């Protein structure tokens, strides 16, 4: 339970706090933060949440879904609500997290 709470706090910070930070910077700084966030930080965090969920799939299967949901919530709040491009990114993060969860669960099961 403690790991889950720590993960949730980190997820809220990354998926809600960083988009807010990108909006507060003007010009190219905000754009650079968006590129780093969308193409490095969020995919890596989706992989991490999938690996964590793969340790106990029956209890933690919801982590990749929460990660993608928090991402969509964060970008819709701070960028543009209802923007369909963010649904594509959220779906990609969901797929990345589920694949990481299934791979880790398969590896754990084989041991």
At 34-82, the pLDDT tens digits run 888 889 999 999 999 999 999 989 988 999 999 999 999 988 888 877 7
Q: How far apart are CA 89 and CA 8, in angstroms?
A: 20
Q: How many helices (H) and strands (E) does the chain have?
A: 7, 0
Tokens linked to 101 = 């969860």
Which residue's structure tokens are 């990660």? 67
Distance of CA 109 to the CA centre of its chain: 25
Taking the CA atoms of residue 102, residue 72, residue 83 and residue 92 in that order, the dihedral angle to the nearest 10 degrees is -20
pLDDT of residue 33: 81
Return phi, psi of residue 53, to 5°: -70, -30
- Tell me the per-residue pLDDT of 11-29, one tens digit each, with 9 for 90 and over: 888 888 888 877 777 677 7
Q: What is the pTM of this model?
A: 0.86
Q: How far apart are CA 40 and CA 15, in angstroms?
A: 13
Query: Looking at the predicted structure, is the pLDDT value of residue 90 above 80?
Result: yes
């Amino acid at each position: 339970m403690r790991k889950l709470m720590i993960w949730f706090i980190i997820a809220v910070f990354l998926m809600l706090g960083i988009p807010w930070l990108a909006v507060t910077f003007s010009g190219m700084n905000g754009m650079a933060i968006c590129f780093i966030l969308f193409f490095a930080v969020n995919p890596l965090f989706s992989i991490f949440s999938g690996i964590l969920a793969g340790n106990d799939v029956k209890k933690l299967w919801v982590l990749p879904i929460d990660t993608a949901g928090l991402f969509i919530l964060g970008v819709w709040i701070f960028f543009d609500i209802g923007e369909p491009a963010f649904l594509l990114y959220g779906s990609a993060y969901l797929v990345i997290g589920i694949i990481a969860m299934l791979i880790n669960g398969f590896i754990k099961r084989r041991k």
